[in-house]
Structure 1
Amino acid sequence: MNPQDDASPVVLARRRARYLTGLLWHIGVFVIINAAFWALDLALGAPGAQWAGWITAIWGFALAFHVLAYLIDGRQLEDRKTRKYLDRDRSPSSGR
């Protein structure tokens, strides 16, 4: 049995809110830390060698995947597809 079958709407809503909160913390830390890196790089770095740009790009790539995961909401997508396939296999017209 899937543990999500027993989950109430309140539990599911809290889980989704917790996931959003984690995403917002990730965005906030990204902005604050990268602003500090850029300030440090511009104040102390050699001309033309912005190492902060590399950190921002790599971390931004990871953050983009976090945002994408939130928007797609893969866990609910997996549950919906599972139910769809189960319903299709149980239907009389499935040939089984």
Structure 2
Amino acid sequence: MSAVDERRERYTAVDAVAGLLGVASVALSGIAMGMGLILELEARPARTAPIAIILALVVARMSPRYEKLALKAALFAMLAWVVGMTLAVITGNPLI
């Protein structure tokens, strides 16, 4: 056995759940940003973007393996909030 094999850590169930929550955060951010308008969903950015940010923070706390994903998801959710609120005002859709 080499030293590389000993340093590898196994994925746990917590890592799998954290990864799924990170992807859910990015998906919610996409809906808040404007994909909800394209998919004809009730995209209310004042509701969905903060939930995406909270999910990203939960991911960062759950698993150190997905800290980078959580950071990118939180930044994307912040951008989605700004863009989604702007699009909602321009198109006359409800914010909350």
Shorter-chain-normalised TM-score: which range?
A: 0.3 to 0.5
Higher RCO structure (Cα 8 Å, ≥6 apart): 2
Greater helix share, structure number? 1
TM-score with structure 1 setting the length: 0.37
TM-score with structure 2 setting the length: 0.37
Indicate the structure (1 or 2) with the bigger Cα radius of gyration: 1
